[in-house]
């Protein structure tokens, strides 16, 4: 195959500006195709990308308050909390899952710091 030439701007350069990191080289022509120009390149067929939830400070404060009370919310409790915060049960469930992971990580770091203070530190995994 011929040696690739310098990259030319994407075909949609006026709309997109600089070529994004994920732009694909189109054969030996050196042109770039940007995913923003062609919807088929955006996601795998049949899979819609979930939009990241942005929680308000009031929602976060209430979620943290409930987490401090208990680390697991199920059934009716999750349903009531979700409706009072105008969130879906799935959003509340995932928030609690992520918060438990953060809590475990913080607990482990605190334990390791205590052990290190006593000179009993173990190597991290």
Q: What is the pLDDT of residue 13?
A: 47
- Parallel/antiparallel/unpaired status of strands 24-26 and 31-33: antiparallel
The answer to whether 24 and 12 are in contact (CB under 8 A) is no
Q: What is the pLDDT of residue 45?
A: 72
> What pTM was computed for the model?
0.55
CA pair distance 53, 46, nearest whole angstrom: 21
Q: How many CA atoms lie within 13 A of 55 on its CB side?
A: 17
CA pair distance 62, 68, nearest whole angstrom: 10
Domains contained in the chain, CATH given: 57-118 (1.10.10.60)
Give the H or E element holding residue 77: helix 75-85
Q: pLDDT tens track of the chain, all 125 residues?
A: 555 555 555 454 455 555 555 545 444 445 444 445 545 455 567 778 878 889 999 999 999 999 999 999 988 999 999 999 999 999 999 999 999 999 999 989 888 888 888 887 555 55
Q: What is the pLDDT of residue 8?
A: 53
């Amino acid at each position: 195959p011929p040696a690739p030439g310098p990259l030319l701007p994407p075909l949609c350069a006026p709309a997109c500006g600089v070529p994004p990191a994920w732009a694909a080289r189109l054969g030996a022509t050196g042109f770039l195709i940007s995913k923003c120009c062609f919807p088929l390149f955006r996601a795998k067929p049949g899979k819609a990308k979930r939009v990241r939830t942005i929680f308000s400070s009031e929602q976060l404060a209430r979620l943290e308050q409930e987490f401090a009370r208990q680390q697991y919310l199920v059934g009716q409790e999750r349903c009531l909390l979700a409706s009072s915060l105008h969130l879906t049960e799935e959003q509340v469930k995932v928030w609690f899952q992520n918060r438990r992971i953060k809590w475990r990580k913080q607990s482990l770091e605190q334990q390791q710091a205590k052990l290190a203070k006593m000179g009993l530190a173990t190597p991290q995994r």
